[in-house]
Amino acid sequence: MCHDNPLLNFRPLRFFLFFLLLSYNTVLIAQSKDTTLPGELEEVIIRAYEQGKNLHRLPAAVGYVGNAELKRFNTASILMAVNTTPGVRMEERSPGSYRINIRGSALRAPFGVRNVKVYFNELPYTDPGGHTYLNQLGFYDFGSLEIIKGPGSSLYGSGTGGVLLIESMTANALPSVQVEYTGGSFGYNHLFGAVNLGDEHHTSRFALHHLQTEGYRDHASVERTVFNWNGKFNLGSKTQLKTSFLLGDLQYQTPGALKLDEFKINPRSSRPRVGTVAGSAEKQAAIMQKTFLAGASLLHVMDSNFQNRISIYGMFTELNNPSIRNYGKNKDPHTGIRNTLHYQRTFNRMHLDLDVGAEVQIGFPTVDIHVNNNGNAETLQSHDELDTRQHFFFGQSTLAYSGWSLTAGLSINNYKLSLQRFSPSAGPMLRKEFKNVLAPRIVLSKQLNQFLVYGGAARGFSPPATSELAPSGSAINTSLEPEYGMNYDAGIKTKKANGLLIDINAFHFILENTLVQRRDAAGGEFFINSGSAKQSGIETSISFPFKQQKLQRYMAWVSHTWHHFRYVDFKQVNNDFSGKQMPGNPKHTIASGIEMQRAAFSANINYFFAGKLPLNDANSAYADAYHLLGFKMGWEKMVNRSFIIKISTGAENILNQVYSLGNDINGFGGRYYNAAPGRNFFASVALQWFYK
C-alpha cells in the first residue's frame, strides 16, 4: 500500500491542479532573478578538459546536467536528471545508496562510486584509495554536473569509466533568503534553506538541507542533513578565491537484495532470514556516515597569456556499516592539492592553448571489522591500517587553425598503497605500487559550418581500490592488478539557429585485465582480474525548442543509448564466459520528454525506457525491461519585485512498474533484485526574498 504524505491526498491534489490550470491564463510573471528568462535557454560553458567552450563546440563525449534538467524532477535526488544523459546510468540499490554507471563502469561497484573520478568545486572529491562518497551530497549540492564519458586519465588521473565535475553554486545567484519544503509518498520530507550574500566583489552561500523518508521497501528509511558554505571572492582584478565547506550526516537502512521469487511475491520486503543466515532487518543492516570537507581554489591571472589555478583540500569520512556478515567501522582522512598552469597565445592564424600541472593526494584510512550482534558492534575481528598515495603530472596542448583543432594530452601516474593488519595478530606490511603509468589522449576536430566533427583515442587505467584489495571481512588480495582500457570515439554535434541541438557519439572501448566482483553466501564481495572485454556503442541526444518567445518556451528532447558490451576472453575455473554480454547494462535506453513554460506556469512530461539486462556473467538471469512515466508542473509569482513564491507538484512511475533500479550483479544464490519505488507523488512550496 502507498504510504502517502497528507499533502497529496486526492481531493487537495485535485484542487491544486485546478488552481494551477486557472492561473495558467490569468497570471504573468516578471523575470525570475535566480533563473533564465522563460523563452531563453542557458548558454552553457563546459570546463571539461580545460576547454571553456559551449557544449556543442566541445570535441568530446561530455554530458551536462544543469538547472533546466534538474528542475524537471523531484528534489529527492539527481538520479532521474542524470539518467537523461545517454551512456550514463545512475543507480539506486536502496534510498541513499547510489552508483554511477558510465558505459559499464559500475561492473566492479557493489555499492558506491568506483572507477570514476569526481571533483567538487574544483577539489578532488574521490579519495586516493578510489572511493567517492557521492551519497553524502544532496540535490541542492548540485548547481551543475559535467560528465566525461570514457577515460579522462590524460588530465584527471585514474579511472577508465569517466569523470564527474560538480559545481554547487550557480553563476547568477543574487543576495536573497530562500526556504523550500517538499513532501511526498512513503514519508518523504525535504526541507531546504539558504542565504546568499554578496556584491560585485564577492558572493557567499550558506545552505542547510534535511531529507527524511521511510522508503518504499521494508527497512529502507533515510535521513540526511548537510550544511555547506561556498564563496567566491575577487581579490583584486586578477585573482579570484573559491571556498568550499561541507558538513554532512547520513544514515540509511539497507534492505538487501532479493531472489526472483521473493521479488515477485513482495518486492517491498527486505532480505529475509534463510537458514542460519539472518535477514537485513534482523541484523539492522545500515550505513551511518559523517563527512567533513574544507577546501579552496585560487585563480590568478598573471597576464593576457598566463593564468594559474591551485586547489587544496582536506576531507574526513567516518563510516559505520552493520551488515549481514559483520560490522565495519571505517575512518578515511585524506588531503590533496592540484595545480594547473594555463598558457594561451594567438599567432598568425593559429591559436595555442597549453595546460600543465600536477595533482597529489594522500590518505590514511583505517578499517575495523567487528562481529555484528543485531546492529551492535562486538568482538573485533580485524584492524587494518592503510597508507594511500597517488600523484600524477599532466600536460595538454590544443592547436586551432582555420576550423581545425588538434588536442594532445598525456599524464604520468604513480600510485602506492601500504597495508598492515594488526588483529587478530600483527601481520607483515604489504605494499602495492604502480609506477609511471602513461595515459595519452589525442583528438582531431573540424568545424564545418554549424557542424563539429571529431574523432580521437584515449588510454585509461584504473588501479584496484583499497576496498577491492582488502574487502570487508575477506582476505587481503595484493595480487590484483589495474585495469587498462583503450577508447576510440567519433562524434558530430550541431546547434542550429532555431535552437535545435544534436549530439551523436560512437565509441569502441577495449578493456584489458578486467576487474570483476564476486559474492559469497553472506553477501560479502571479493574481486578478481579476469580476461578482457569489448564495449561499443552509439549515444545520441537531441533537443528542440519548437517555440520560443518572450515569457514562453516549448521544448522536446530525447536521448538514446545503444550499448553492445561483450566479454572477449573471460574464463573462471571451469566456466568460459567469453562472448557473453557484460552484466548490468541494457542494450537500449531511451529518455525523452516535452516541456512548456508560459508566463507563470510550467509543466513537463518525461519518459524513460531501459531494456532487459543480464544479471550475471553466465547470462542465465535477466532483469526485465521497464517503462517509467512522470510529470511535474509548477507555478511561480513575483510580489513587489523582491519576493517570489513557487509551488509545484508531480508524480513518478505513473505506470506503477515493478522493477529493480540497482541490481546486485553476480549476487550469490540469485540475490540480484533491489526494488525501486512504485507510483509516487510529491509537492513543493518555495519562498525566496531578494534584498539589496
**What integer pLDDT is reported at residue 519 of this predicted model?**
56
Q: What is the pLDDT of residue 34?
A: 40
| 96/137 Cα distance (integer angstroms) | 10
Q: In terms of residue numbers, what domain contains 236?
A: 6-690
- On whether residue 16 sits in a domain, the answer given is yes
* Phi, psi at 68, each rounded to 5°: -65, -40
Residue among 623, 584, 592 at smallest CA distance from 609:
592
- DSSP secondary structure letters along 240-305: EEEEEEEEEEEEEE----B-HHHHHH-TTSPPPPBTTBPPTTTTT-EEEEEEEEEEEEEEEE-SSS
Domain count, the chain: 1
Which residues have CB under 8 Å from 304's CB, separation 6+? none
The pLDDT score that the predictor gives to residue 481 is 80
Q: Write the pLDDT tens digit of every residue in 194-206.
A: 999 988 888 999 9
Is the residue at 196 inside a domain?
Answer: yes
Contact 646, 600 (CB under 8 A): no
**Kind plus residue range of the DSSP H or E element containing 112:** none
Whether the Cβ atoms of residue 632 and residue 21 lie closer than 8 Å to each other: no
Sequence-ordered strand ranges (E) for 25-76:
45-46, 53-54, 62-65
For residue 442 the three cell numbers come to: 589525442
pLDDT at 513: 81
Distance of alpha carbon 112 from alpha carbon 118, whole angstroms: 12
Q: What confidence score (pLDDT) does residue 193 get?
A: 96
374 lies in a domain? yes
Q: Per the domain annotation, does 1 fall within a domain? A: no
Buried b (16+ CB within 10 A) or exposed e, 463-473: bbbbbbbbbbb
Between CA 366 and CA 329 the distance in angstroms is: 8
pLDDT of residue 521: 54
Enumerate residue ranges in the chain where pLDDT < 50: 1-40
Please count the other Cβ atoms lying within 10 Å of the Cβ belonging to residue 453.
15
Q: Is 11 exposed, middle or buried (0-12, 13-18, 19+ CB in 10 A)?
A: exposed
Q: Is there a domain that residue 455 lies in? A: yes
Say what the pTM is.
0.90
Peptide bond into 6 cis (omega under 30): no
Quote the pLDDT of residue 148: 96
Nearest of 462, 378, 379, 478 to residue 420 by alpha carbon: 478
Query: CA-CA distance, 240 to 452, in Å (whole number)?
Result: 33
* DSSP secondary structure of 650-664: EEE-TT----BSS--
Tell me the per-residue pLDDT of 56-70, one tens digit each, with 9 for 90 and over.
999 999 999 999 999
Q: CATH number of the domain at 656, please.
A: 2.40.170.20
pLDDT of 172: 67
**407, containing H or E segment:** strand 404-423
* Residue 146 included in any domain: yes
CA 688 to chain centre: 28
